[in-house]
Structure 1
């Protein structure tokens, strides 16, 4: 899938993604920004910035923020969240910034094991001595979203199944490190953090799930109603009366320097 098609998939229900999903990543965003030492005046680029939730957090710490994403719909929200940010539509394999432009470059579940050229680009725009950080899905044993990904995989074309498995591969020990080293960066540290998505009921959860880019091939193949029914069945036992649905998953993270 090219970057334009990816952007269309992720931006098809941009507001639902931005407001029902993005806040769940906050613990990972905070951990990465702490590790990167974000302070007032830090220049930061978030690659695959989506609707700009992480970028807004970095700006609140005083960073001069830039962001790139393939989805025009998501970027409209990112621009509304942080009007002062340098937000651009484009391809992460061809970043529209000069060499050594940023103190920090981040990727929150945007650069995967099969995206080596994107990491080379991230390294190019990073200043010498600067910090790169990326997150990715953690251990399947600690993935509350695993039934979602299984539902997507089971009802999508084979090519999408292979892409989904490739994303999971990124979290295996050494994979992200090798990817980073191949871009000429030096790994500094690795860790993991739990993030939790919360929904009052299955109806809102399945509405949110439809807004996620990976859902699109399954929806195209089986229809939205059947897709939502399959997801509701997969999570029916996880709903607690009076509490709702809380889905905790692990993000792995790696930091590196140039």
Structure 2
């Protein structure tokens, strides 16, 4: 395939293309925790706010934090004023559900800050990629390995979610796996969505965006269906823990 070099807008591409791929994860976790009208949900690294929007639709009070200004601006368009910020969660009643759906970074970096905002015994959820053999996207993520020597996503697999939970002083409660297939209208849409995840940022810095896009299109070829759409089955894993 020849790359089209369509201009990328990472925050907008995340919100419009990629974020929806994780809706099964969000819904499964909310179902398991019984998130509803009596819940208060705090999203760490909330991005453009889709997970919080889903919780709000269930009747929950929601708030979120993120250090990506562009994604945060999109979240503010979706959610009530004062819901999301860079500085930390808005003042108010403590939260009983805290989510880190996009890896353990917020957990390891900000345990003290979110602990102050949470009820004793609040549920804390962290999530990451499932086993590589059950994630078709793993083969596409290897583009970054070839260009930078780093395998994105594998750091959160296996026992490492539990290790992060233990390091944060939380009490492990349970875990689960959720099918989150990545489906795109076509290869160009897939490239834009995948680049918006941040998994390829280091590869872009190590080479250039055109080279990364070219290699992504080649890696996507096995997943392009007869109608031109792209379909990659994946499994994500989540861990639920409790604050003391």
TM-score range, shorter chain: 0.7 to 0.9
Taking structure 1 as the reference length, the TM-score comes to 0.83
| 2: CA distance, partners of 1:18 / 1:257 | 30
| Structure 1 ranges of 4+ moved more than 4 A | 95-100
* Aligned twin of 1:53: 50
Pairs within 5 Å for 1:39-50 = 39-50=36-47
Pairs within 5 Å for 1:185-200 = 185-200=170-185
| 2: CA distance, partners of 1:24 / 1:106 | 17
Q: Which runs of 5+ in 2 are unaligned?
A: 1-7
Taking structure 2 as the reference length, the TM-score comes to 0.87
Pairs within 5 Å for 1:1-258 = 13-84=10-81, 86-90=83-87, 95=88, 101-112=94-105, 116-156=108-148, 161=150, 164=152, 167-173=153-159, 175-242=160-227, 244-258=229-243
Q: Which runs of 5+ in 1 are unaligned?
A: 1-10
- Cα distance, 1:214–1:170 mapped onto 2, change above 3 Å: closer
| 1: CA distance, partners of 2:117 / 2:201 | 32
Offset at 1:231? 0.7
Query: 3-state SS of the aligned residue for 1:54?
Result: helix
